């Protein structure tokens, strides 16, 4: 091993530092420069043929990854927006459905009330017509009974008296029988 203070002293006494180094380390300068040139050439070849393309591929991949991440973030945002829109649409649809149900119920209640009112009106009309028909039938029956009673009274009177009655007698008997019948029927 070479001692550093001795090496420095030798460099100071005789020649230059390069000579001292070359003698102390045994450096062959032409071989060293050739090796240095070879090293630089290999480094440049590796740099241009391997390192630069690898950096380019890595950079492209990084850009692709960044693009993918940006796209994923954009899609995430769009999905969130779509979910918000979907929720808002569902909320609006629910509100509209409630309003439609309220309107339909109100319309159904109104329609039911109108139908019920119409049914009551028709029932009253039917009852009134029925009562009118019953009253008309009652009057017709009373008339029929009066006619029949009058005919029977006249026939009975004619048989009892054993003679033919005059028109004035027939009218008097018929009126009297009608009055008595009216009093008993009412």
Reduce the secondary structure of 86-137 to three states and give it as a string. HHHHHHHHHHHHHHHHHHHHHHHHHHHHHHHHHHHHHHHHHHHHHHHHHHHH
- Could you identify the residue written with the tokens 């070879």? 38
For residue 96 the two structure tokens come to 């509209």
What is the model's pLDDT at position 169?
A: 75
Residue 89 has pLDDT above 90, yes or no: yes
> Nearest-5° angle of CA 165, CA 171, CA 174?
100
Residue 8 has pLDDT above 60, yes or no: no
**Domain boundary assignment for the chain:** 4-185
Instruction: Identify the band that residue 163 occupies on the pLDDT scale cut at 50, 70 and 90.
Output: low
For residue 167 the two structure tokens come to 């028109």
Residues 6+ apart with CB under 8 A from 22: 28, 29
pLDDT digits (tens, 9 = 90+) for 92-146: 999 999 999 999 999 999 999 999 999 999 999 999 999 999 999 888 888 887 7
User: How far does Cα 24 stand from its chain's mean position?
Assistant: 93
- Could you identify the residue written with the tokens 């309220």? 102
pLDDT digits (tens, 9 = 90+) for 24-55: 777 788 998 999 999 999 999 999 999 999 99
Q: What does the DSSP 8-state code read for residue 163?
A: S
Residue 171 has pLDDT above 60, yes or no: yes
**Is the Cβ–Cβ distance between 21 and 27 less than 8 Å?**
yes
First and final CA of the chain: distance in angstroms? 161
15 CB-side CA count, 13 A = 9
Give the Å distances, CA to CA, from 83 to 79, 95, 173.
6, 18, 102
For residue 70 the two structure tokens come to 């940006």
What is the model's pLDDT at position 182?
A: 67
Burial of 7 (0-12, 13-18, 19+ CB in 10 A): middle
């Amino acid at each position: 091993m070479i001692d550093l203070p001795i090496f420095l002293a030798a460099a100071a006494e005789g020649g230059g530092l390069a000579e001292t180094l070359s003698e102390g380390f045994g450096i062959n300068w032409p071989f060293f420069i050739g090796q240095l040139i070879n090293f630089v050439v290999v480094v440049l070849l590796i740099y241009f043929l391997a390192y630069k393309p690898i950096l380019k591929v890595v950079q492209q991949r990084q850009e692709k990854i960044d693009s993918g991440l940006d796209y994923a973030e954009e899609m995430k945002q769009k999905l969130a927006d779509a979910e918000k829109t979907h929720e808002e649409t569902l909320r609006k649809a629910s509100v509209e459905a409630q309003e439609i149900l309220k309107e339909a119920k109100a319309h159904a209640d109104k329609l039911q009330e109108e139908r019920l009112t119409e049914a009551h009106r028709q029932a009253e009309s039917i009852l009134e017509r029925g009562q009118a028909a019953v009253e008309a039938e009652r009057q017709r029956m009373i008339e029929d009974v009066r006619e029949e009673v009058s005919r029977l009274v006249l026939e009975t009177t004619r048989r009892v008296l054993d003679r033919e009655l005059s028109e004035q007698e027939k009218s008097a008997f018929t009126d009297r029988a009608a009055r008595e019948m009216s009093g008993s029927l009412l």
